Structure 1
Amino acid sequence: MKTLLLQIFTWWNGQTIGTRFATWRFGKRVGEDELGNVYYEGGTTSFGLPRRWVIYKGYADASAIPPGWHGWMHYRTDVPPSKETYVAKDWQVAHRANPTGSPQAYRPPGSLVVAGERPRVTGDYDAWTPGS
């Protein structure tokens, strides 16, 4: 019952009722990434391109799409990562979701969330005043 209510009243917890119906009716599963997000394709856009969408595992956050799937979602490639054998280069780092709003977010010195004292102002800044 909770899942049904979440699908009716929220869009950020996985998929909505409309997305579930469209996926059931038109969606062809293309693949799944290492985070558990599932990718679909079906129908066409107004530009004649195949419509592509993702159903997130958990909270819907666009930064949770790995780079290979991001390229496929934005029509940079027609071959999804699930259908190719891609090997990352040694200089490429693993995908990391955007930590904004989480405990892993960057907190600069002097932030209200970080203990300690804000650094002193150096005096190298002159505020703008009208007419100067």
Structure 2
Amino acid sequence: MKKLLLQIFTWWNEQTIGTRFYTWRFGKRVGQDEFGNVYYEGGMSTYGLPKRWVIYNGYAEASAIPPGWHGWMHHRTDVPPSQDNYVPKDWQKKHRPNLTGTAQAYRPPGSLAVPGERPRVTGDYDAWTPGS
């Protein structure tokens, strides 16, 4: 019952009732990534491209889509990683969740959350003043 209520009243927990119905009606399962996110395709967008969407495993966070699936979702490739034996490049980093709003978020020196002063401005910038 709790899961049903979450699907009716929230959009950030896996999927909504509307997405569940649309997926049941038109969706063709394409694959699943290492995080448990499930990818679907079905129907046509207004641009004439096939609609592609993801059902997140848990909290809906767009940065949790791996690079291979990101390319497929954005129509950079027509072959999904599940059918392509996709191997990430050496330079591609592992997923890190978005830490904004948490204690681990990046806070540069001089920000309100970190004591200290900002680095001094170098001479390569002149502020604009009216009439100059």
Structure 2 vs 1, CA of residues 61 and 121 (structure 1 numbering), >3 Å: closer, same or farther? Answer: same
The residue that corresponds to 1:26 in the other structure is 26
Quote the Cα distance in structure 1 between the aligned partners of 2:14 and 2:88: 29
Distance, in Å, in 2 between the alignment partners of 1:53 and 1:130 is: 50
8 Å CA contact 2:13–2:59 kept in 1: the answer is: yes
Matches within 5 A, 1:88-103: 88-103=88-103
CA distance in 2, matches of 1:91, 1:41: 29
Aligned to 1:56: 56
Q: Distance in 1 between matches of 2:47 and 2:109?
A: 48
Q: Output the TM-score relative to the length of structure 1.
A: 0.82
How has the CA–CA distance of structure 1 residues 67 and 122 changed in structure 2, closer, same or farther, with 3 Å as cutoff?
closer
Q: Would you say 1:10 and 2:10 are equivalent positions? A: yes
Structure 2 segments unaligned to the other structure (5+ residues): none
RMSD: 2.2
Secondary structure of 1:95's counterpart equals coil
Structure 1 spans left out of the alignment, 5+ residues:
none
How many residues end up aligned between the 2 structures? 131
Identity %: 75
Q: Does 1:117 align with 2:116?
A: yes
Q: Offset at 1:80?
A: 0.6
1:103-126 CA-to-partner distances (Å, cap 9, x unmatched) read 332110122222x32246457465
Amino acid at match of 1:95: H
Residues 81 and 130 of structure 1, relative CA distance in 2, 3 Å threshold: same
| TM-score, L = length of structure 2 | 0.82
- For 2:37 and 2:48, the matched residues in 1 are separated by 25
Quote how far apart the aligned CAs of 1:33 are: 1.0
Instruction: Using the TM superposition, give the Cα deviation of residue 23 of structure 1 relative to its aligned residue in structure 2, in angstroms.
Output: 0.9
Looking at structure 1, the residues matched to 30 and 76 of structure 2 have their Cα atoms a distance apart, in angstroms, of: 16
